[in-house]
């Protein structure tokens, strides 16, 4: 039904009453209810009934009323019909506004809750298309390229085109394209026909249409503003349809496509702003995540530079642990078939692996990088001492030989002196060799242990004749280490890196999601007794929940065998994982 600027008065037949004819009102016979022009009033005679769709705009005229009374009745009836139509229109607008308000609330909640930008962008476009019955939509985001602002196509949809319409490309922010013009002007653009734009504005859709065999007609392009009111992109909707589910062809565009309404502009601008803030928040979260990842990697690098012999250990622990965790998550049989780790739990596990050795910053460097049992320089001191003992022994036997020659001893006596000297020098060489072997980061053989203990009890005399032990107490303590390179006191200091790591990690302002689960990364003492004599787990136990009755699946149950660094400090000869 089309709308006329004045009321149309209809009668069911041409036989009007004399009084009605005398009113001078122009009437026309109602032939087809579907052809009634609005606004309209149906004038009924006695006993007549209006067609069902038109009953609310009909009035029965009294047969004995005067022309003036009839005119007044018709005037009041027309006012009532106009008022009813206004009420109906207002109710429709209120219903639409209410639906839009509910949709905006739903969209706002969804935009705030969605973390995956791969799902967020299609959700934005789908929602806008549903609210406006648009056939297609595209999302453009602004970025800098060599200092020049450009718009890149982030996502696109089209209900009537079966194949994907997405193609990664960029357009400049200028007046050559509709989206570029919209972003540069910072104002929404509404076109009834994209091929016939308003004066001074660019046309749109032609290159897209020629590529996909499409016809772009109505178009709505709105800028996206973030919380700083900066334009960060644009959303473009094309071809508003009478019915959302209709699939368009080039032939049906003229009949099915309508113009976007002014109300649509306000609503889409609101959603576009919410979407811009949601995308900004996601990008901000990603940048913070990247910043924290960089800090973690820098921390790991700093630690590994203090202990080059274990460089890459934390990264390998992270790689192996997360691979095992993913395998457990994907397995469908066995006791782990119901275990499903979330993305947040994988993130926690990764950070725990990478940061588990950070406490090494609190360990003195000579202990942290101690490659052998003796500290650097001690072996050289011992070797110099035994060289002095050797020289002293040579001097002693030379004096004895000289005295023998003075007393007239013959050749056999002198030879015996030389033989005893050679034996003692050979014994000194064996002792030095035993010390060198004992200094290595391996399991100390019993014979070498006995030799070291014997030497600690032996003395030699300096030039002044003062006695000194062949091995100082500290040297004996270090050389008597049965496995690895650390004595009990040094081992306690090395193991204290777990406590340092714990205190360090508690200082990090973890996000609420991680903080809610982020266990106590416990210190060494929190783990209870060792599982077996000589077995020590030097790494942190990850992700322990205080409300868990036992160790969580992320913690695992394996233990390193032996010392802090097996290959370097007396372990089974394998490098750390």
Summarize pLDDT for 335-348 with one digit per residue, the tens: 888 888 888 888 88
Handedness of CA 205, 207, 208, 213 (dihedral sign): positive
Q: Is residue 298 part of a domain?
A: no
Q: Which of 58, 91, 124 is the last residue of a domain?
A: 91
pLDDT above 70 for 358: yes
Question: Cβ of 171: how many Cβ atoms within 10 Å?
Answer: 16
Q: Is residue 301 part of a domain?
A: no
Task: Give the mean pLDDT of the chain.
Answer: 81
Question: Cβ of 440: how many Cβ atoms within 10 Å?
Answer: 14
3-class SS at 203?
A: coil
pLDDT above 90 for 252: yes
What gap in Å lies between CA 130 and CA 127, rounded to an integer? 5
More confident residue, 222 or 15: 222
pLDDT above 50 for 13: yes
pLDDT above 60 for 561: no
pLDDT above 90 for 177: yes
pLDDT above 70 for 143: yes
- Cα 479–Cα 524–Cα 549 angle in degrees, nearest 5: 145
Q: Does one domain contain both 471 and 500?
A: no
Mean pLDDT of 249-271: 89
What is the maximum span of the chain, computed from C-alpha positions, in angstroms? 179
| Residue 525 CA: distances (Å) to CA of 351, 377, 441, 517 | 22, 33, 26, 21
Question: Cβ of 180: how many Cβ atoms within 10 Å?
Answer: 21
Q: Is residue 109 part of a domain?
A: no
DSSP string, 364-381: -HHHHT--SSSPTTHHHH
pLDDT above 80 for 528: no
Q: Does one domain contain both 354 and 496?
A: yes
Q: Which of 416, 449, 484 is the last residue of a domain?
A: 484
Q: Match 């005229």 to its residue by tokens.
A: 61
150 band by pLDDT with thresholds 50, 70 and 90: very high
3-class SS at 537?
A: coil
Q: Is residue 304 part of a domain?
A: no
Percent of the chain with pLDDT over 90: 27
Q: What is residue 258's predicted lDDT score, i.e. its pLDDT?
A: 94
Q: Is residue 61 part of a domain?
A: yes
Question: 173, 169, 126, 131: which is closest to 149 by C-alpha?
Answer: 173
Q: What is residue 384's predicted lDDT score, i.e. its pLDDT?
A: 94
Question: Cβ of 554: how many Cβ atoms within 10 Å?
Answer: 24
Question: 203, 192, 119, 189: which is closest to 154 by C-alpha?
Answer: 119
Q: Does one domain contain both 436 and 471?
A: yes
351 band by pLDDT with thresholds 50, 70 and 90: confident
What total number of domains does the chain contain?
Answer: 4
Backbone φ, ψ for residue 139 (5° rounding)? -115, 125
50 band by pLDDT with thresholds 50, 70 and 90: confident
Handedness of CA 120, 123, 127, 128 (dihedral sign): positive
Q: Is residue 366 part of a domain?
A: yes
> 405-428 pLDDT, tens per residue?
888 777 788 888 889 999 999 999
Most confident region among 149-158, 530-539, 550-559, 564-573 by mean pLDDT: 149-158
pLDDT above 60 for 440: yes
Q: Does one domain contain both 124 and 267?
A: yes
Q: Does one domain contain both 480 and 491?
A: no
Q: Does one domain contain both 156 and 279?
A: yes
Q: Does one domain contain both 408 and 339?
A: no
3-class SS at 147?
A: coil
> 474-517 pLDDT, tens per residue?
999 899 888 888 888 888 888 777 787 777 877 877 766 565 44
Question: 573, 377, 571: which is closest to 485 by C-alpha?
Answer: 571
Question: Cβ of 8: how many Cβ atoms within 10 Å?
Answer: 16
Beta strands 148-158 and 134-145 are: antiparallel
- For residues 314-340, one letter each, b for 16 or more C-beta atoms within 10 angstroms of the residue's C-beta and e for the rest, the string is beebbeebbeebeebeeeeeeeeeeee
pTM listed for this prediction: 0.55
168 band by pLDDT with thresholds 50, 70 and 90: confident
Q: Does one domain contain both 479 and 504?
A: no
Mean pLDDT of 309-327: 87
More confident residue, 381 or 536: 381
Mean pLDDT of 244-253: 92
What gap in Å lies between CA 153 and CA 145, rounded to an integer? 14
Q: Does one domain contain both 475 and 500?
A: no
Mean pLDDT of 432-450: 89
pLDDT above 80 for 236: yes
Q: What is residue 189's predicted lDDT score, i.e. its pLDDT?
A: 94
**DSSP code, position 5:** E
Q: Is residue 303 part of a domain?
A: no
Q: Which of 14-28, 128-142, 354-368, 537-551 has the lowest mean pLDDT?
A: 537-551
DSSP lists the bridge partners of residue 220 as 190, 237
Backbone φ, ψ for residue 58 (5° rounding)? -120, 150
Percent of the chain with pLDDT over 70: 86
Q: Does one domain contain both 248 and 161?
A: yes
Handedness of CA 519, 523, 526, 530 (dihedral sign): positive
Q: Does one domain contain both 478 and 498?
A: no
The residue range of the domain holding 391 is 378-484
Q: Does one domain contain both 122 and 79?
A: no
Backbone φ, ψ for residue 459 (5° rounding)? -125, 160
Encoded tokens for 91: 């109710």
Q: Which of 49, 76, 91 is the last residue of a domain?
A: 91
Q: Is residue 292 part of a domain?
A: no
Long-range contacts at 16-23 (CB < 8 A, ≥ 24 apart): 17/45, 17/61, 17/63, 19/63, 19/65, 19/66, 19/67, 19/70, 20/61, 20/67, 20/70, 22/67, 23/67, 23/70, 23/71, 23/74
Q: Kindly compute the dihedral angle of the four CA atoms of residues 19, 23, 29, 32, in this order, to the nearest 10 degrees.
A: -110
Q: Are 380 and 359 a contacting pair, CB within 8 Å?
A: no
What gap in Å lies between CA 450 and CA 480, rounded to an integer? 9
Q: Kindly compute the dihedral angle of the four CA atoms of residues 360, 361, 362, 366, in this order, to the nearest 10 degrees.
A: 80
């Amino acid at each position: 039904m089309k709308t006329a600027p004045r009321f149309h008065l209809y009668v069911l037949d041409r036989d009007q009453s004399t009084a009605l004819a005398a009113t001078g009102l122009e009437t026309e016979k109602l032939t087809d209810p579907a052809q009634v022009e609005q606004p309209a009033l149906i004038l009924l005679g006695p006993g007549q009934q209006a067609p069902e769709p038109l009953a609310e705009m009909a009035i029965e005229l009294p047969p004995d009323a005067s022309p003036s009374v009839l005119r007044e009745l018709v005037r009041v009836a027309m006012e009532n019909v106009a008022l009813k139509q206004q009420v109906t229109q207002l109710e429709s607008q209120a219903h639409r506004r209410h639906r839009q308000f509910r949709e905006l609330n739903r969209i706002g909640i969804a935009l705030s809750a969605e973390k995956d930008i791969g799902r967020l962008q299609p959700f934005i476009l789908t929602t806008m298309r549903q609210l406006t019955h648009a056939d297609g939509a595209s999302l453009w985001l602004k970025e800098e390229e060599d200092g020049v602002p450009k718009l890149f196509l982030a996502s696109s949809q089209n209900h009537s085109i079966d194949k994907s319409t997405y193609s990664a490309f960029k357009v400049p922010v200028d007046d050559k394209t509709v989206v570029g013009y919209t972003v540069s002007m910072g104002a929404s653009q509404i076109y009834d026909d994209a091929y016939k734009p308003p004066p001074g504005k660019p046309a749109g859709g032609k290159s897209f249409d020629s590529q996909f065999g499409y016809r772009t007609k109505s178009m709505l392009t709105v800028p996206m503003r973030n919380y700083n009111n900066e334009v960060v992109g644009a959303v473009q909707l094309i071809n508003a349809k009478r019915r959302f589910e209709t699939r368009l062809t080039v032939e049906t565009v003229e009949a099915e496509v309508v113009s976007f309404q002014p109300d649509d502009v306000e609503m889409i601008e609101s959603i576009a702003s919410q979407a811009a803030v949601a995308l900004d928040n996601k990008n901000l979260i990603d940048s913070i995540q990247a910043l924290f990842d960089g800090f973690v990697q820098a921390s790991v690098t700093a630690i590994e530079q203090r202990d080059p012999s274990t460089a890459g250990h934390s990264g390998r622990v992270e790689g192996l642990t997360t691979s095992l965790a993913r395998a457990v998550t994907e397995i469908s049989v066995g006791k782990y078939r119901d275990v499903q780790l979330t993305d947040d739990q994988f993130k926690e596990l990764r950070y725990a692996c990478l940061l588990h050795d950070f406490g090494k910053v609190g360990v003195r460097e000579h202990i942290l990088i101690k490659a052998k049992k003796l500290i650097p320089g001690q072996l050289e001191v011992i070797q110099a001492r035994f060289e002095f003992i050797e020289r002293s022994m040579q001097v002693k036997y030379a004096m004895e030989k000289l005295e023998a020659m003075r007393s007239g001893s013959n050749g056999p006596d002198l030879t015996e002196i030389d033989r005893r000297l050679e034996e003692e020098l050979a014994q000194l060489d064996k002792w030095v060799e035993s010390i060198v072997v004992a200094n290595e980061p391996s399991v100390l053989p019993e014979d070498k242990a006995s030799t070291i203990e014997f030497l600690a009890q032996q003395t030699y005399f300096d030039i002044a004749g003062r006695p000194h032990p062949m091995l100082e107490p500290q040297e004996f303590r270090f050389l008597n280490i049965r496995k690895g390179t650390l004595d009990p006191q040094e081992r306690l200091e090395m193991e204290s890196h777990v406590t340092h790591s714990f205190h360090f990690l508690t200082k990090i302002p973890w996000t609420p999601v991680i903080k809610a689960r982020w266990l106590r990364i416990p210190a060494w003492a929190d783990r209870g007794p060792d599982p077996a004599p000589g077995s020590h787990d030097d790494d942190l136990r990850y992700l322990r929940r205080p409300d868990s009755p036992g160790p969580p699946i992320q913690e695992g149950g394996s233990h390193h065998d032996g010392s802090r660094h097996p290959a370097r400090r007396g372990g089974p000869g394998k490098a750390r994982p």
